[in-house]
């Protein structure tokens, strides 16, 4: 029997158990996937639990994606570049191996016709945590050559800039303070990687005002990686402008499919995973 899970705090918003349990059932794999709410100060304790209880692997979400790296026995090159891990495999010797599948999930969730129009354009990222790191790498992969990070923690955004510039050339990274009234007229894509808007204490809160969204060009894409609720206040503001929008469901499904493959060695049933969500 295979034991899988997700660690993060809070986890009331997580759809991963429904998605992965449906995938296990479809592929006739005996096992289950559980949500394990883990406060930051209890991360090390949780990792010991996962090893002693015989888990095969787990996902990592806010706020552990960067912090977890210090506890891992190996980290794949992609995760090293991103500087964040969202998927961990536990081998038969109880060693922890970290991967980042968020970049794949983010890039593949954007329709090809939109991706083609973003090449050479300017992007704005809201936030500077683990998810922001993956989005940054994904944007560079798509040919974005100027990215502005808007974050409340200036130190973290500067650290993120340094990590990216060490690994990529030909890209310009700028860091600014995040406030609700940013002028977005230069940007073709805005990606929210903060928890603002997420179900729970942040629900109904937008990182940007309607006035700020009003400054975006008419062909811009607003991408909120929050997936519960499926339509955040930020996306509602964008829809009022008749802008293209995406929520985080596609990214969740596609990054999850990669994790499923790493844990089971089987082809993920993506259609089933999507239907479960």
Residues annotated as catalytic (active site), given as ranges: 65
In the three-class reduction of DSSP (H, G, I as helix; E, B as strand; rest coil), residue 71 is classed as helix
Query: In 3D, which of 201, 213, 198 has the Cα closest to residue 247?
Result: 198
Distance CA 43, CA 96 (A): 14
In DSSP notation, 150-192 reads: EES-HHHHHHHHHHHHHH-SS-EEEEEE--TT---TT-SEEEE
Q: What are phi and psi of 146, to 5 degrees?
A: -140, 120
| 195 torsion bin: left (phi>0), alpha (psi -120 to 50), beta (else) | alpha
């Amino acid at each position: 029997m295979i034991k899988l899970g997700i660690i993060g705090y809070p986890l009331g918003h997580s759809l991963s158990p429904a998605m992965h349990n449906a995938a296990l059932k479809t592929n006739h794999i005996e096992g289950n996937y559980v949500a394990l709410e883990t406060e930051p100060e209890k991360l090390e304790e949780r990792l010991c639990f996962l090893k002693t209880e015989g888990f095969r692997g787990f996902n990592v979400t806010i706020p552990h994606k960067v912090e977890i790296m210090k506890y891992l026995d190996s980290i794949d090159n992609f995760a090293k570049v991103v500087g964040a891990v969202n998927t961990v495999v536990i081998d038969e010797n109880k060693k922890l191996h970290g991967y980042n599948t968020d970049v794949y999930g983010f890039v593949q969730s954007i329709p090809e016709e939109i991706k083609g129009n973003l090449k050479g354009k300017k992007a704005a990222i809201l936030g500077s945590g683990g998810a922001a790191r993956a989005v940054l790498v994904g944007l560079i992969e798509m040919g974005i050559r100027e990215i502005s990070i808007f974050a409340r923690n200036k130190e973290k955004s500067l650290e993120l800039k340094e990590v990216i510039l060490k690994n990529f050339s030909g890209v310009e990274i700028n860091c600014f303070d995040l406030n609700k009234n940013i002028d977005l007229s230069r940007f073709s894509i805005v990606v929210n990687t903060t928890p603002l808007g997420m179900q729970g204490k942040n629900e109904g809160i937008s990182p940007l005002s309607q006035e700020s969204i009003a400054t975006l060009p008419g062909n811009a894409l607003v991408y909120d990686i929050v997936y519960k609720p499926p339509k955040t206040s930020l996306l509602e503001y964008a829809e009022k402008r008749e802008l293209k929008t995406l929520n985080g469901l596609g990214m969740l499904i596609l990054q999850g499919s990669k994790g499923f493959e790493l844990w089971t060695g089987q082809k993920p049933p993506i259609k089933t995973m999507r239907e479960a969500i």
